[in-house]
Amino acid sequence: MIDSHCHLFYDDIFNDLDNKIKFAYSMGVTNFLTVGTDNKHMLQNIDIANTYDNVVCSIGIHPTEYACGYNIKEMFELTKKYNKIVAIGEVGLDYHYTDLAPKEKQLPLFEEMLQLAKDTDLPIILHCRECFSDDLFKLIKQYTDNAVFHCFTDSLENAKKIINEGFYLSLTGIVTFKNCQELREVAKYVPEDRLLIETDSPYLAPIPHRGKTNEPGFVRYVAECICEQRKCTLQHLSNITDENFYRLFPKSKIMLSKNNI
């Protein structure tokens, strides 16, 4: 099983990283994509991926981090220098936090990141919140077809649009929360070849750890909840989500040859 979206560089995880990875193994979670959010942690995140055979990474500027002082040329160079960078992300629009990041700041950043994905020919990890519209899909399509909407929490209707546009959809521990019935409908609906699973750790710990620090091993709880909805085995879900992961992030196949556990 793969945690397709975690942030291994945040202190809560990084300070005990060896043990977090060991624990994840014991849960059947063997590979990880640690996702970038800002300029400050970018090199540390790449370094983590270079340290562990079964970790790959992405670089990107989160919409609320528009003022973090990134350099787009440097980001481009990093993707050429490090094989372990398999995607651009997380990038997108977050209209829940417009007080932190006004819309007029978010949009140009997003377009710059989409252009970076196009220039580097890398897939995109999208953080899109309260911003779904036909214009959003049109905008993304101008740059790429290879993208995943991470931490999807929106309506079944918007999940259908994502799938119809040919994109991937990824679910976090929120799918286990009692009040999120519609999300479990989404978990049932997403076609086998479009679904990814993630923790978004250290945030969003699933039940039975809700409210505590999340960690990559907990993606198993996300998977088990989705299995209940889809009436399939953990092995099956693990197989299809692994396949989807390697199809969307082809550079991450680098992990397969070195990971015989």
Binding site for Zn ion (CB under 5 A): 90, 127, 200
What are 228's two structure tokens? 């209940």
CA angle at 98 for the pair 140 and 160, rounded to the nearest 5°: 40
- Comparing CB distances to Zn ion, the nearer of 38 and 90 is 90
Distance CA 107, CA 215 (A): 31
Q: Report the sign of the C-alpha dihedral through residues 87, 88, 90, 94, in that order.
A: negative
Cα–Cα distance list, 246 to 17, 82, 189, 194, 225 (Å): 24, 18, 21, 12, 22
Smallest distance, Zn ion to C-beta of residue 232, A = 26
Q: In what order do the strands lie in the sheet with 147-149?
A: 2-6, 31-34, 55-59, 85-94, 124-129, 147-149, 168-171, 195-197
Which DSSP letter does residue 151 get? S
Evaluate whether 199 touches 9 at the Cβ level (below 8 Å). Answer: no
Evaluate whether 221 touches 206 at the Cβ level (below 8 Å). Answer: yes
Evaluate whether 152 touches 175 at the Cβ level (below 8 Å). Answer: no
Which residue number is nearest to Zn ion in terms of Cβ? 127
